[in-house]
Amino acid sequence: MIASESQQLEAKERILIVDDDEDIRNSLTLFLKEQDYEIEVAKDGQDGLEKIVEKSYNLVLLDIRLPDIDGIKLIIPIKEKQPEIEIIMITGNDDINSAINSLHKGASAYITKPLNLDELLTNIKNSIEKQHLIAEKQQTEQKLKESEEKYRELTEQSLVGVAIMQDNVFKFVNQRYAEIGSYNVKEMMNWQPGEFFKIVYPDDRERVMEQSTKKQRGDKDVINHYEFRAVAKTGNIIWIELYSKTIKYKGRPAAFITIIDITERKKAEKKLKESEEKYRELYENAPNAYFSVKSDKFIKGCNQPACELLGYNKKEILTMKVFDLYYNSPEGLQKAKRLFKQFLEGKNIQDEEIQMKHKNGNPFWTSLTVTPIRNQKGEIVESRSMVINITERKEAEEALKNSEHDLGERVKELTCLYELSKLVENLNISLEEVLQRTLDLIPPAWQFPEITCSRISFNGQEFKTKNFMETEWKLKVGIKRRDEIIGTIEVYYLKDKPIFDEGPFLKEERNLINACAEILGRYFERKMVEQAIQNRNKEILMLLDASRAVLQYNDFEIAQKRIFNCCNNLIGADAGYVAVLNASKKEYQKIFIYPGSLTCEVDPDLQMSIRGMLAKVIKSKKGLAQNDFSNTDWINFLPKGHIPLKNVLIAPLIINNEVNGIMGLTGREGGFTDEETRVVTAFAEIASISLFNSQTLESLEKSEQKYKRLSNILEQKVEERTIELKDSEEKIRNLINNISDILFEAEPSGILTYISPQITDLIGYQSEELIGLNFMDFVQIEDINSFKETADKALKTKKVVSIECRIKHKKGYFLPISARWSMVEINNELKVFGLVSDNTERKKIDDMIKREIKQLKELDQIRNDLVTRISHELNTPLISILNGSQYLLDFKNNKMSDEISNIVKIIYQGGYRLKDMVDNLITAYEIETEQIIFNIKRENLIPIIKECVEDLIFRAEKRKVFINLELPTDLNTAVDKRMIKKVILNLLSNAIKNTQPNGNIYIRSFEHHNFLDIIIRDTGVGLTEKEKPSLFKKFGKIERYGKGMDVDIEGPGLGLYIANEIVKLHVGEILVKSKGRNKGSTFILRLFLK
């Protein structure tokens, strides 16, 4: 029996925890042991009962839901085994009614999950304190009973203190009387008159002397029985209970006295009083309201919670009748009268729900339990009533009914958004399929799916459900790309429905259609950006291909065919041509025609006049598009048999600011836009360069042929016609005058002694004007230092030097040139001979290339921004999905059907996998773009490995794979803790995925003076030699689907790639060993110490 012996009250309190949740058992054990309680645990009801039989406990923490026995049904057998034991129920919010019922079955309190440890500790302390108080009361009552039994025994055996006093001296004293005061009989008999009163406690002495004197005189107005305090010979204060009467002793009045030592009883009474005060305090501070009601309907007593419940003070309540407390309603006053009648009949009333009223008149719901109390005659005299306020529960029950429907609707909405999110992230389906499947998602998410239809409009197209029909019950929202509306979503009810607060459509449904529109808006924007990037990439590739044609082919006719084809690959016109203007600039000849599927009967060699639209293009020197050409006057300028033209785009080929040719296209579906005009103009510029190169090369070839011819003649005639040297020199001079590069002769100081006439075309000066001037005077000041350094180099080395610089035109602006020269000694005199070339066109090409490089960099930045944006746009809904589904699983799981719960679990698991995939993609991107940042510090790898095992132990247990650790206490090296954890997680996750059920994974380490290894070995499917090379490739996933290997095939194939790249950045390596299929694999993470 608990507290049956006093020493048990001083022993450490013992608590039994009965709960099937191991985490709760472990956490409560740890917490309560810290509070100095002795703790034992039981995993189910049967285990708990067996422990109750074996040992005594002060308190039991009992889960209301156990796998084998209902927690409430355990209360009675526990109480039968140990009646004094205290029981606190552990319950969830949805078991509040059961928890209240448990209080009536004998539990002392209950606490709800999630557990508030402070509240739990308070309940435990109160329950054990209550137990101690009851035990102390029982002990005190037992001692009092024993004292009374001893008193009766003394009385029966005349062992009470007996004395006769006369004239204030003892005439007779028995042994017991003397012993009570620790005296002996002899010394008390020798006391002088009145000396007896010295042993009476000072505060009681006057009263005792008065009553003793009256008794010895035989007075009538005396007290025969009273209690007083005496001081024993030892100095201890003792309590005496005195019975006396007047007798005749030797013929005179005397007092016959019997005394009993009631010191122990007084102590017990004191303890009992203290115990009752503590019990009363506990009663007053109990969490529930308690009343005592007499059979005449008047309220006899109540505790403080009762006052707080009703709003009255105790004085007011004690003047009221019980019916004054109830609300005048069928479930209030009328029901109370029926129940009171049952109480008078002696019936117990258990958990009756009834309406009471507050002092302010407001009704509230309560649970009433009444126990009749009988007197010794068996008559009903009063009740013990417990009242619990269940207003919140009643309101919650009503709200629950309303929320069950709402919850179902919200789940449908979440399912719609989740499926739509998955849909727009699927890269393998077309935009049209996305929109059509979106329509299939909308009706099931509405409150009346059977009469719901919808339509999506986008880019001039309409997508409808099969039952679509426009009605007056309509909900419409725009799909926006930035602030531009690019489409709409419409939802209709096919017939009228009840009007809610928000109208026929719920606020949540408006929010849902807005969310769908927002997702589609982001999807369209992403598709447009992707299309723009694809178009731009294609444009760059075609421009580069066209540029290569310029470099690859000297023949303009061959080069321009390829340039035109590159251009038309982007534009998609039905037909087109490239033409060159003749010298008069009044006619043009098509040198390449692409008729496509159209028929052209015009002679391709026909010289055609420049007029109409062509004349406008040549005059403006800009590209021009006309999308309604057949309705313009220009169509009248076409020769008979010409290809029919609906729309036309013409761009000029410009050389030296003059139009030398044209590129034309026609028959594009949908016409030509400004963007197509820009693209064709860019290709026309490349064609211009090709034409210029072709013309320049042709000129050079002619000059070269002429030069060779003259050189041959000169060589043959030089000896024979020396007298004609001047004529030959003149011919050479003419030859020099006809080449495109500029020849010059100068002194080493830079003074020009000769320069060919072509200089006039370059800088506007006549060659005669420049003779005698210093060439460096025409060099731009920013280039002068470089020019001087190059000249000094030529003077020192006597070798050919070259430089690119800018020289001044006669009109004041500067032109880019390249100059090559060398020092030549003639008749012991140094001369400078060199060539000057015009770099203007090459600079244009260089500038164009720089522009293209800039655009490529901009595209790269767009890619970076796109990756950042996509990662943000994916993570934001993913976090909402994960948090929302986690909340439903943690707090609403018991309120969902199994089917919905499974769907939510699938949502959560899929969201978790998708988030893991996004994190891996971002990490891979950061590795590729060298954006990853390491924080290298010396770390102990053992805790990191164990943390990784804890993170993945659930997945391993799910696949029935056992992880075995063979690790030392410390394994220290310098790493980035977050990144190395990602490596170990990926290696361990790979081992779990590729190990069949009941397989094993072994993790151990090896430390060398140059490196340390973390070795992860599995007994899984192993690797073939063919599979090993693709392990660490990005997306290098080994396909094992459908091969009967019983492995986890989830994942995009980034884990090992990321792990390998991170280890490389740690100056380490990952080694792989496997003896083949089904012989397991070993991955060694090796980190070098130096």
* Residue 1 binned pLDDT confidence (cut-offs 50, 70, 90): very low
Do 189 and 215 belong together in one domain? yes
What is the overall mean pLDDT for the chain? Answer: 82
**Lowest mean pLDDT segment, chosen from 17-21, 274-278, 354-358:** 274-278
**Lowest mean pLDDT segment, chosen from 610-614, 881-885, 1064-1068:** 881-885
Do 230 and 356 belong together in one domain? no
Do 616 and 639 belong together in one domain? yes
pLDDT value of position 357? 93
Res. 327: pLDDT tops 90: yes
* Residue 1087 binned pLDDT confidence (cut-offs 50, 70, 90): very high
Res. 730: pLDDT tops 80: no
> Does residue 859 or residue 236 have the better pLDDT?
236
* Residue 1017 binned pLDDT confidence (cut-offs 50, 70, 90): very high
pLDDT value of position 875? 62
Do 309 and 379 belong together in one domain? yes
Residue 712 domain flag: no
Do 62 and 197 belong together in one domain? no
Residue 732 domain flag: no
Q: In terms of C-beta distances under 8 Å and separation of at least 24 residues, what long-range contacts does 640-648 make, across chains too?
A: 640/601, 640/602, 641/600, 641/601, 641/602, 642/600, 642/601, 642/602, 643/575, 643/595, 643/598, 643/599, 643/600, 643/667, 644/598, 647/671, 647/672, 648/613, 648/672
Q: Read off the pLDDT of each residue in 727-740 and give the average, rounded to a whole number.
A: 60
Q: In terms of C-beta distances under 8 Å and separation of at least 24 residues, what long-range contacts does 417-426 make, across chains too?
A: 417/512, 417/515, 417/516, 417/519, 417/877, 418/881, 418/907, 420/516, 420/519, 420/520, 421/519, 421/877, 421/881, 424/519, 424/520, 424/522, 424/523, 425/874
Looking up residue 692, the CATH number of its domain turns out to be 3.30.450.40
- Per-residue pLDDT of 188-228, as tens digits, reads 999 999 888 889 999 999 999 999 999 999 888 888 899 99
Q: What residues does 814 pair with on adjacent strands?
A: 808
Do 831 and 847 belong together in one domain? no
Res. 994: pLDDT tops 70: yes
User: Of 499, 530, 561, which residue constitutes the final position of a domain?
Assistant: 530
- Per-residue pLDDT of 418-444, as tens digits, reads 888 888 888 788 888 889 989 888 898
Which DSSP letter does residue 1047 get?
Answer: -
Joined together, the tokens standing for residue 938 give: 């010396």
In terms of Cβ atoms closer than 10 Å to its own Cβ (0-12, 13-18, 19+), residue 601 is: exposed
* Residue 149 binned pLDDT confidence (cut-offs 50, 70, 90): low
CA 524 to centroid of chain Cα atoms: 26
- Per-residue pLDDT of 553-597, as tens digits, reads 777 778 888 888 888 888 888 888 888 888 777 777 776 677 776
pLDDT value of position 151? 46
Res. 880: pLDDT tops 60: yes
Residue 715 domain flag: no
Cβ of 517: how many Cβ atoms within 10 Å?
20
pLDDT value of position 72? 87
* Residue 3 binned pLDDT confidence (cut-offs 50, 70, 90): very low
Q: What residues does 340 pair with on adjacent strands?
A: none
pLDDT value of position 607? 65
Residue 870 domain flag: yes
Check if the beta carbon of residue 648 is closer than 8 Å to that of residue 666: yes
Looking at the chain, the whole-number percentage of residues with pLDDT higher than 70 is: 84
The candidate with the shortest Cα–Cα distance to 903, out of 513, 408, 440, is 408
Do 873 and 979 belong together in one domain? no
Res. 894: pLDDT tops 60: yes
> Does residue 461 or residue 549 have the better pLDDT?
461
Res. 156: pLDDT tops 50: no
Q: What residues does 937 pair with on adjacent strands?
A: 975
> Structural domain of residue 256, as residue ranges?
158-269
**Lowest mean pLDDT segment, chosen from 242-246, 267-271, 362-366, 772-776:** 267-271
pLDDT value of position 1052? 62
User: Of 638, 671, 700, which residue constitutes the final position of a domain?
Assistant: 700
In terms of Cβ atoms closer than 10 Å to its own Cβ (0-12, 13-18, 19+), residue 802 is: middle
pLDDT value of position 523? 83
pLDDT value of position 711? 64
> Does residue 576 or residue 849 have the better pLDDT?
576
Q: Read off the pLDDT of each residue in 707-712 and give the average, rounded to a whole number.
A: 70
Joined together, the tokens standing for residue 310 give: 């009703």
Q: Read off the pLDDT of each residue in 1018-1041 and give the average, rounded to a whole number.
A: 76
- Per-residue pLDDT of 483-514, as tens digits, reads 888 899 999 988 876 555 456 777 888 888 89
User: Of 683, 700, 717, which residue constitutes the final position of a domain?
Assistant: 700
CA 439 to centroid of chain Cα atoms: 29
Name the residue type at position 604: P
| Distance between CA atoms of residues 1085 and 987, nearest Å | 9
Residue 1056 domain flag: yes
Q: Looking at the 3D structure of the chain, how many domains does it have?
A: 8
Do 938 and 1084 belong together in one domain? yes
pLDDT value of position 369? 92
| Distance between CA atoms of residues 81 and 71, nearest Å | 16
* Residue 275 binned pLDDT confidence (cut-offs 50, 70, 90): low
DSSP string, 663-680: EEEE--TT---HHHHHHH
Name the residue type at position 77: P
Looking up residue 124, the CATH number of its domain turns out to be 3.40.50.2300
| Distance between CA atoms of residues 898 and 281, nearest Å | 48
The candidate with the shortest Cα–Cα distance to 750, out of 718, 717, 777, is 777
Res. 520: pLDDT tops 70: yes
Do 253 and 315 belong together in one domain? no
pTM of the model: 0.31
Looking up residue 783, the CATH number of its domain turns out to be 3.30.450.20
Residue 725 domain flag: no
Do 431 and 478 belong together in one domain? yes
Joined together, the tokens standing for residue 170 give: 């003892």
Strands (DSSP E) found in 316-451: 349-357, 363-374, 380-389
Question: Distance between terminal CA atoms of the chain?
Answer: 70
Joined together, the tokens standing for residue 260 give: 């009993």
* Residue 9 binned pLDDT confidence (cut-offs 50, 70, 90): very low
pLDDT value of position 905? 73
Do 258 and 306 belong together in one domain? no
Residue 600 domain flag: yes
pLDDT value of position 737? 60
Residue 375 domain flag: yes
- The phi and psi torsions of 375 (rounded to 5 degrees) equal -90, -170
Q: Read off the pLDDT of each residue in 276-305 and give the average, rounded to a whole number.
A: 80
> Does residue 341 or residue 399 have the better pLDDT?
341
Q: How much is the CA Rg of the chain, to the nearest whole Å?
A: 54
* Residue 878 binned pLDDT confidence (cut-offs 50, 70, 90): low
pLDDT value of position 771? 92
Do 71 and 18 belong together in one domain? yes
